[in-house]
Amino acid sequence: MTDTPDHISAKAFMAELERYRKGSVSRRHFLGVTGLGMATTVLGSAMPSLITRPAYAQGSIGDSVVLATWPNYHDPASFDAFTELTGAAVQVNVFGSNEEMLAKLQAGGSGWDVFVPTNYTITTYVDEGLIDPLDLSKIPNYDAASFDERFASPGTVNGMLYAASKDWGTTGMAVNTSQTNGRVLTSWKDFWEITQAEFSGRTTVHDYQLTTIGNALKSFGYSFNSVDPAELAKAEELLLAVKPHLFAITSDYQPPMRSGDAWLAMCWTGDAKQLNKDIPEIQYILGKEGGEIWSDFYAIPKGAPHLDAAYALINFLLDPAINYKEAMFHGQPVADARVNAMMSAEMMADPIIHPAAELLSALEFGAAATLTDPNRAELMARFKSA
Amino acid sequence: MSPKLINRLLLAPAGLWLLTMLVLPIVVVVVFSFGERAQAGGYVPAFTLEQYLNLPARWKAFQNTLTLAPVGTLIVLLIAYPLAYYLAIKANPKWRTLLLILVIVPFWTSILIRSYAWIFILGGRGIPAILEFFGLEGIRLINTPFAVLAGIVYGYLPLMVFPIYVSLERLDKRLLEASADLGSPPWRSFLQITLPLSLPGVATGCMLVFILLMGEFLIPAMLGGGKVFFVGNALVDLFLQSRNWPFGSAVAVALVLVMLVSVTIYMRAIKRWGNGRDDVSLM
């Protein structure tokens, strides 16, 4: 986890500028604290020739690599370190749903080198011929034996490894308990109920069919992965009734939760950990009916323009020391035993990161059928356009 | 080389551009709109009217677009006209260029980044917090149709200001003097001379803003929180989330048709109105 706040006040900025001018802090500290460093990196990466390129031991891998991933999912310092090591600047594209990633790849010419698919989507990518198996000789940091089978196995399809485990987590709800008047939310039923009552206009749901429809289904006790038309119709009825009471339909809900505009969010583990760390009143709850447990992977799309850089980036991020730093930043549990060995006992016992076994046992992994089911896709689109 | 051949050669680049960038994509979209969605998403060839029959499922998006686009255009016009009038007629010529540049300056930054700024201005810690200070509690702005309208007005204002400015700047000031000499009060001179002579600019500006607004998706997505849905957002969703290309194509064809019809009605109305007068020619 980082201690850097997501913004800097004008006063703090001037104070930092003064310190930098006086020479009491380094340029690196100044740029980091004020966010100017990030801004310059972004601008600089638009003109790669401006960045000096150190020699990389494994030979030149080019000056850029494109990563498609999820919001708040990587420590920017990891990318800086990668660029320093290899000379390749990391361009990050952020997505809100697996459907969006699949759509980009299906349309062709995504330009991505590495992307981060979720467990249940990988067979579809293989069937559609959109990804290539990983060449393990180029990822020496991947040690199959150290990964928890439960989370790493969806990366293997037809006996070949297509995707390397990044991390795993759950989908629950983040609630700002300073607004609940002591009421404790325990279920998805509560989630939808309070949204239509005291929390009207204060709730966000994912812009993502799997979880938004899935957790509506759960509140009726149906499977998270149901594609049964009658069950989906019930979920749609609920979602349409809730829609006028929502603050937003978005997968990037940290900003409104932090600003206090939103009080309740459908939320992934890492976001919950990041929010809870900075604002302890925001607590993370798993619906008692169940919900989603997931694992994410690194994969390389067919025709990746910078293949060498893609392997270099995956290998770099799977280095246990880097992966540990990443986990400390994004707050998701990691399936790699080598990384977990570095974690403090406190982190391993954190109820947000590692929920109790009986809570986990109620959860379901997403099913491949939900990704391609036309009814779920159209239900989500109708819900959004209603 | 004959002049005819030279003409053709000169027109070739533009013609080729239109063919590959406009005509072919439209043909593809029309063909797709009669197809079916592939199992994992995309398109399979077919001939079915199913997609068009499903159009009512996006009625709300059309309704939102057809309300907010004209309303937005009207508000932009009401704000842009006095500004353009001031710039063209009242402003000190010494400062005019600078003021005009100030109107363009926001275009130097991407609309995406400027919309992010609006998220904070309209969010709970922005304007609502100020209103709360004055005792107006519980005002919600972000993720409402109002927020989308504010973003639209902000984003499209310069597109309306410039055509009106140009038509007002060309205005022969002696007409106003003559009118005053003949005893007309300023408001009458404005209604009978300035306003009619600036109508071509108004007509162009409205058209420019309205057409672009009909296809808008970024501002509703950013300031509407995924709740204020334009046809543009429906299209983005159909192609980039649910991967239903045939239905997306049908929605796109419907949008183009709606646009053609409304623009034709608009042009007719303007023309008829212009023909009714012998002093101004519109378009």
Look at residue B33 and tell me if it is in a domain. Answer: no
Residues A65 and A209 in one domain: no
Asked if the C-beta of B109 comes within 8 angstroms of chain A's C-beta atoms, the answer is no
**Chain B residues within an 8 Å CB radius of A97:** 241
Residues A131 and A150 in one domain: yes
Q: For residues B201-228, give the mean pLDDT.
A: 93
Indicate whether A371 pLDDT > 70.
yes
Asked if the C-beta of A255 comes within 8 angstroms of chain B's C-beta atoms, the answer is yes
Asked if the C-beta of A381 comes within 8 angstroms of chain B's C-beta atoms, the answer is yes
pLDDT at A358: 87
The DSSP H or E segment spanning B104 is helix B93-104
pLDDT at B2: 86
Look at residue A42 and tell me if it is in a domain. Answer: no
Residues A184 and A248 in one domain: yes
pLDDT at B279: 52
pLDDT at A53: 47
pLDDT at B106: 86
Q: Contact A382/B233, CB-based, under 8 Å? A: no
Question: How far away is chain A from the Cα of B100, in angstroms, using its nearest Cα?
Answer: 28
Look at residue A44 and tell me if it is in a domain. Answer: no
Indicate whether A313 pLDDT > 90.
yes
Indicate whether B282 pLDDT > 60.
no
How many other CB atoms are found less than 10 A from the CB of residue A262?
26
Look at residue A40 and tell me if it is in a domain. Answer: no
pLDDT at A220: 97
Residues A67 and A152 in one domain: yes
**Chain A residues within an 8 Å CB radius of B234:** 381, 385
Indicate whether A339 pLDDT > 90.
yes
Contact B243, A107 (CB under 8 A): no
Look at residue A175 and tell me if it is in a domain. Answer: yes
DSSP line for A110-166: ---SEE--BGGGHHHHHHTT-B----GGG-TT--GGGB-HHHHGGGEETTEE-EEEE
Q: Contact B123/A256, CB-based, under 8 Å? A: yes
Asked if the C-beta of A372 comes within 8 angstroms of chain B's C-beta atoms, the answer is yes
Indicate whether A322 pLDDT > 70.
yes
Q: Contact B226/A261, CB-based, under 8 Å? A: no
Q: Contact B238/A250, CB-based, under 8 Å? A: no
Q: For residues A204-216, give the mean pLDDT.
A: 96
Q: For residues B222-234, give the mean pLDDT.
A: 92
Look at residue B50 and tell me if it is in a domain. Answer: no
Indicate whether B11 pLDDT > 50.
yes
Indicate whether A59 pLDDT > 80.
no
**Count of CB contacts below 8 A, A vs B?**
92
Indicate whether A344 pLDDT > 70.
yes
Residues A220 and A369 in one domain: yes
Q: Contact B225/A104, CB-based, under 8 Å? A: no
Q: For residues A349-362, give the mean pLDDT.
A: 92
Contacts 24+ apart (CB under 8 A), B120-123: B122/B147, B122/B150, B122/B223, B123/A256, B123/A259, B123/A261
pLDDT at A11: 62
Residues A305 and A181 in one domain: no
Best residue in B230, B240, B245, B251 for a mutation probing chain A (most A CBs within 10 Å): B240
Of B229, B234, B243, the CB nearest to A102: B243
Number of domains, chain A: 3
Domain that holds residue A130: 49-168+294-345
Look at residue B259 and tell me if it is in a domain. Answer: yes
Question: How far away is chain B from the Cα of A372, in angstroms, using its nearest Cα?
Answer: 5
pLDDT at A44: 45
Residue B137: which pLDDT band, with cuts at 50, 70 and 90? confident
Residue A60: which pLDDT band, with cuts at 50, 70 and 90? confident
pLDDT at A198: 95
Asked if the C-beta of B146 comes within 8 angstroms of chain A's C-beta atoms, the answer is no
Number of domains, chain B: 1
Q: Contact A385/B243, CB-based, under 8 Å? A: no
Dihedral sign, Cα of residue A176, residue A178, residue A180, residue A184:
positive
Residue A20: which pLDDT band, with cuts at 50, 70 and 90? low
Residue A51: which pLDDT band, with cuts at 50, 70 and 90? very low
pLDDT at A109: 85
Asked if the C-beta of A269 comes within 8 angstroms of chain B's C-beta atoms, the answer is no
Give the integer Cα–Cα distance in Å for B278 and B249: 44
Chain segment A211-266, per-residue pLDDT in tens: 999 999 999 999 999 999 999 999 999 999 999 999 999 999 999 999 999 999 99
Look at residue B46 and tell me if it is in a domain. Answer: no
How does the average pLDDT of chain A come out, rounded?
89
Look at residue B45 and tell me if it is in a domain. Answer: no
Residues A25 and A11 in one domain: yes
Chain segment A70-111, per-residue pLDDT in tens: 999 999 999 999 999 999 999 999 998 999 999 999 988 899
Q: For residues B166-177, give the mean pLDDT.
A: 90
Chain segment B45-55, per-residue pLDDT in tens: 999 999 999 99
Asked if the C-beta of A94 comes within 8 angstroms of chain B's C-beta atoms, the answer is no
Q: Contact B225/A377, CB-based, under 8 Å? A: no
**Chain A residues within an 8 Å CB radius of B123:** 256, 259, 261
pTM (predicted TM-score): 0.85
Residues A163 and A310 in one domain: yes
pLDDT at B276: 63
Q: Which residue of B has its CA nearest to A261?
A: B124
Look at residue B2 and tell me if it is in a domain. Answer: no
Asked if the C-beta of A377 comes within 8 angstroms of chain B's C-beta atoms, the answer is yes
Of A207, A209, A261, the CB nearest to B142: A261
Look at residue B10 and tell me if it is in a domain. Answer: no
Indicate whether B56 pLDDT > 80.
yes
Residues A152 and A70 in one domain: yes
Look at residue B256 and tell me if it is in a domain. Answer: yes
pLDDT at A17: 59
Of B41, B233, B244, the CB nearest to A102: B41
Q: What is the CATH number of the domain that holds A146?
A: 3.40.190.10
Look at residue A11 and tell me if it is in a domain. Answer: yes
Look at residue A39 and tell me if it is in a domain. Answer: no
Please name the residue ranges forming H helices in chain A: 10-22, 27-34, 36-46, 76-86, 98-107, 122-127, 149-152, 188-195, 209-219, 229-242, 254-259, 269-278, 307-318, 320-330, 337-340, 345-348, 357-361, 368-372, 374-385
Residues A203 and A92 in one domain: no
Q: Contact B234/A248, CB-based, under 8 Å? A: no
Q: Contact A385/B61, CB-based, under 8 Å? A: yes
Among residues B41, B221, B31, B227, the alpha carbon closest in space to that of A104 is found at B41
Residues A81 and A152 in one domain: yes
Indicate whether A301 pLDDT > 50.
yes
Residue A16: which pLDDT band, with cuts at 50, 70 and 90? low
Q: What is the CATH number of the domain that holds B80?
A: 1.10.3720.10
Indicate whether A41 pLDDT > 50.
no
pLDDT at A48: 46
Asked if the C-beta of B242 comes within 8 angstroms of chain A's C-beta atoms, the answer is yes
| Six token digits for residue A140 | 């020496």
pLDDT at B280: 52
Residues A2 and A22 in one domain: yes
Percent of chain B surpassing pLDDT 70: 97
Asked if the C-beta of A233 comes within 8 angstroms of chain B's C-beta atoms, the answer is no
Look at residue A335 and tell me if it is in a domain. Answer: yes
pLDDT at A18: 58
Asked if the C-beta of A9 comes within 8 angstroms of chain B's C-beta atoms, the answer is no
Of B125, B142, B239, the CB nearest to A103: B239
Domain that holds residue B267: 59-275
Look at residue A198 and tell me if it is in a domain. Answer: yes
